[in-house]
Amino acid sequence: MAEAKPYRFLRISVVVFKVLAWVSVVFQVVSGAILLVAGGEPLLIAGIDFPARLVGLLNFLAAAVYFFSFWLMSTLIRLLLDVRERLGTS
């Protein structure tokens, strides 16, 4: 019987965070592009009317923040798994 690798959940979560990073950047960029091109009525956010095109630009900024956050999380988990594997402690 083959020995199962420890921390399987963390190994899977590395892939999940990378997929979430790409999915979030695609959705944010698409929605931001739609708002930039189409414009439209001002959007009410926290009681203040923001122009739709400004919200579109903010979506691009949010895409970068979400992508960086998810990618950083997957990289940190991968780093910790590599450190544990190289130390050889079980």
> pLDDT, tens digit, for every residue of 55-72?
889 999 999 999 999 999
Q: Considering the domain boundaries, does residue 4 fall inside one?
A: no
Tell me the pLDDT band of 90, cut-offs 50, 70 and 90: low
> Token digits for 23?
């999915």
Q: Write down the pTM of the prediction.
A: 0.79
Q: Considering the domain boundaries, does residue 32 fall inside one?
A: yes
Q: Which of 1-5, 7-11, 58-62 has the highest mean pLDDT?
A: 58-62
Q: Considering the domain boundaries, does residue 78 fall inside one?
A: yes
Q: Considering the domain boundaries, does residue 76 fall inside one?
A: yes
Tell me the pLDDT band of 2, cut-offs 50, 70 and 90: very low
Q: Considering the domain boundaries, does residue 3 fall inside one?
A: no
Q: Range of 49's domain?
A: 28-83
pLDDT for 30 equals: 93
CA dist list (Å): 74 to 9, 34, 39, 59 = 12, 29, 35, 22
DSSP 3: P
Residue 76 has pLDDT above 50, yes or no: yes
Q: Considering the domain boundaries, does residue 35 fall inside one?
A: yes
Q: How many domains does the chain have?
A: 1
